A = this chain, B = another copy of it.
Amino acid sequence: MPRIVKAPEERRAEIIETAHRLFREIGYAKCSVDRIIREMGVAKGTFYYYFKSKPDILEAIVDHTLDGIVEMARSVADDPSLPAMAKMAALLSNSHMGDDTSLEVAEMLHDPENRELHELTNIQTVLRLSPILAQIVEQGIGEGVFQVKRPLETIQFLFTGAQFLTDGGIFAFSPSEIRARREVTQTIIEQALGAEPGSFQFMNPIRAVG
């Protein structure tokens, strides 16, 4: 086979990307290293030149995914010109909560296979995003829109419930069941943060259609 030399970062990124896709499609445990390299047209040794083990690349994938999310969240949280509520809306409005940020709906169909990748991502999301959201909550307390004693722990609880319950990868709910759970989630969040009822309406934009 022709040996194709590439810039190390490019090769590494390519492997991460391919592995990430395959892990989502067929699951971490079921996806052999062989499958990954076959898909890429690269040799076994190449894989092990860049990653020392299979768990190693799983971690790399999750880190890589989270890095993107966290960076974005940080930039929003640190923006001095925005009120807390607007920051919340920016981070939670679309696909950023109760949703695996980087997964397209179509790809999630294969989900049940996907324990390892999913849970790891969920966990990291909760752990790394919670402090950022907590910081926003504290800003909101100062602005008088939130009222809550322990922002970090509260955020973590709410985040965990939202991530795991409506994630799609864990429980097998129908779309309408998911929607019902999202609406309830909104209410619980508002209560837990001591926010105005309806102030987190942005989390369920579909309703706005009616």
B181–A156 contact, CB under 8 A? yes
Q: What are 8 A-B pairs with beta-carbon distances under 8 A?
A: A123-B170, A123-B171, A150-B184, A156-B165, A161-B161, A188-B192, A191-B192, A192-B192
Q: Mark A145-189, 1 if CB is under 8 A from B, else 0.
A: 000011001101110111011000011000000001101110110
Select A154's contact among B156, B157, B188, beta carbons within 8 Å.
Answer: B188
Task: Point out residues on A near B: beta carbons under 8 Å.
Answer: 29, 115-116, 119, 123, 126-127, 149-150, 153-154, 156-158, 160-162, 164-165, 170-171, 180-181, 183-185, 187-188, 191-192
B119–A115 contact, CB under 8 A? yes
Residue in B closest to A150 when the chains form the complex, CB atoms: B184
7 closest pairs, A vs B, by CB? A161-B161, A191-B191, A153-B184, A160-B165, A188-B192, A157-B161, A164-B164
A116-B119 contact, Cβ under 8 Å, with A156-B181, A157-B181, A161-B161: no
Q: How far is the CB of A6 from chain B (nearest CB, A)?
A: 18
16 new A-B contacts, CB < 8 A, other than A150-B180, A157-B162, A157-B188, are A115-B116, A123-B170, A123-B171, A127-B171, A149-B184, A153-B180, A153-B181, A154-B184, A156-B181, A160-B160, A161-B165, A164-B164, A187-B192, A188-B188, A188-B191, A191-B191
Residue in B closest to A177 when the chains form the complex, CB atoms: B153
In the bound assembly, the distance between CA atoms of A181 and B149 in angstroms comes to 12
Q: How far is the CB of A71 from chain B (nearest CB, A)?
A: 23
Q: How far is the CB of A94 from chain B (nearest CB, A)?
A: 20
